[in-house]
Structure 1
Amino acid sequence: MKKELRLQTLAMLDQIGAEEFNRYAALIHEHVLQLSEWKQAKTIALTMSRGKEIPTMPLIEKAWEEGKTVCIPTCFPKTKEMVFYEYTPETKMTSSYFGLLEPDPLESKAVHKEAIDLIIVPGVCFDQHGYRIGYGGGYYDRYLADYHGTTLALCLSVQQVDDLTAEPHDIPVSIMVSEKGAFYQK
């Protein structure tokens, strides 16, 4: 079920033309920057986007401009752990897990979970309760299990489904932002 939904959603994303995608992404960025949760956050965690993910670089640059601390995760497949490291224009990045760009753990400063105000959580599709289907690693569900800050997802309308059968370990995001605006999960 999850696998099929993941593939269906990725196929739908592939059908969106570049111009339309960029227009929607710009709207999503505008909505995020208006949120009080964004404005109040001093430390923001997100991933380096790729493919048909809503680009995160404009948000990273805006966060730097606003004097926020940005952190990016590095995944450790052996222990199934994920650690966020401070990300600046000087951060040495390595291409690793799934070909994602990640901070080099040996040369980066780890950021403790308690210090992160807002985590932008990646995912392939989301339901109206904030549950998500990610990329299958389970890193975020494990990381968010004892995280007490705000979680936010960036998604296009085509990535929203009615209902995902949530499993006990699934952690919903608290805010979803699409090209149509921000939606809070109660």
Structure 2
Amino acid sequence: MGKEDLRKGMILSLEKIGWLERNRTENDLHDHLFESDLWNNAVSIGVTVSSDREWDTRTIIERAWDEGKTVCVPKSIHETKDLHFYEISSFRQLEKGYFGLEEPLPEKTTRREPEDLDLMIVPGLIFTPAGYRIGYGGGYFDRLLAGFNKPTVSLLHSNQIVESFPIEPHDVPVDFLITEQGLKKTGLDQ
């Protein structure tokens, strides 16, 4: 089965999760993240603003602000498939952008380099235990992660983990997975 078929199947599967289970899962994901050294050691966080079908990151952003952390949100640069990160201090500094995602308004924010970030929270749909991921199909995060040397983590339901899928040369795994069951270091030996 190709990545596109896997992607479509997982989207359908996630849409079937009821409100109560979704809420419980998000609370568990947030608790595991906030209790982790990854979170507690980070001063600056790179994170996307979640859409309705993704696991909530607004709570994460608000918690970061409450704790005095710097929050940087990516803006997609379509010509180069790059992500430019901008520091935000309010959701009012966002606009609907690519695929309806909320992205920073460059004129109301300050651009930050990825190497200035202590932790990157990476979105995705499907994951292997080794941390490889299938995202939403743009390849933006794989390009970014190829040169990012700080910790990376993804938030997901345990049902989003599969044994394997075709890994391509440009695919870059994340370092940690957080599910409703807890945080786990990834790696080929896992």
TM-score by length of 1: 0.97
Could you list the runs of 5+ residues in structure 1 that have no partner in the other structure? none
Q: Is the 1:126–1:132 Cα contact (8 Å) retained in structure 2?
A: yes
SS of the residue corresponding to residue 98 of structure 1 reads helix
SS of the residue corresponding to residue 128 of structure 1 reads coil
Report the alpha carbon displacement of residue 176 of structure 1 after superposing the two structures with TM.
Answer: 0.2
The one-letter amino acid of 2:58's match is: M
SS of the residue corresponding to residue 129 of structure 1 reads coil
Aligned to 2:122: 121
d(CA) in 1 for partners of 2:91, 2:15: 33
Aligned to 1:153: 154
1:74-98 Cα distance to aligned partner (Å, 9 max, x none): 0011222110100111652121100
Aligned to 1:69: 70
Moved over 6 A (4+): none
Quick check: 1:131 aligned with 2:132? yes
Residue identity (%): 41
Q: Is the 1:72–1:85 Cα contact (8 Å) retained in structure 2?
A: yes
The one-letter amino acid of 1:58's match is: T
Q: Is the 1:73–1:103 Cα contact (8 Å) retained in structure 2?
A: yes
SS of the residue corresponding to residue 71 of structure 1 reads strand
d(CA) in 1 for partners of 2:176, 2:91: 31
TM-score by length of 2: 0.95
Alignment of 1:15-164 (within 5 A): 15-89=16-90, 91-164=92-165
Report the alpha carbon displacement of residue 53 of structure 1 after superposing the two structures with TM.
Answer: 1.1
Report the alpha carbon displacement of residue 144 of structure 1 after superposing the two structures with TM.
Answer: 1.0
SS of the residue corresponding to residue 122 of structure 1 reads coil
d(CA) in 2 for partners of 1:100, 1:23: 24
1:12-65 Cα distance to aligned partner (Å, 9 max, x none): 111110111111110010000011011000000100101221100111111111
1:106-131 Cα distance to aligned partner (Å, 9 max, x none): 23101111110100000011011000
Count the aligned residue pairs. 186
d(CA) in 2 for partners of 1:142, 1:33: 27
d(CA) in 2 for partners of 1:153, 1:90: 22
Aligned to 1:171: 172
Q: Is the 1:132–1:164 Cα contact (8 Å) retained in structure 2?
A: no
SS of the residue corresponding to residue 86 of structure 2 reads strand
Q: 1:62 to 1:162 in 2, by over 3 A?
A: same
d(CA) in 2 for partners of 1:94, 1:15: 28
RMSD: 1.1
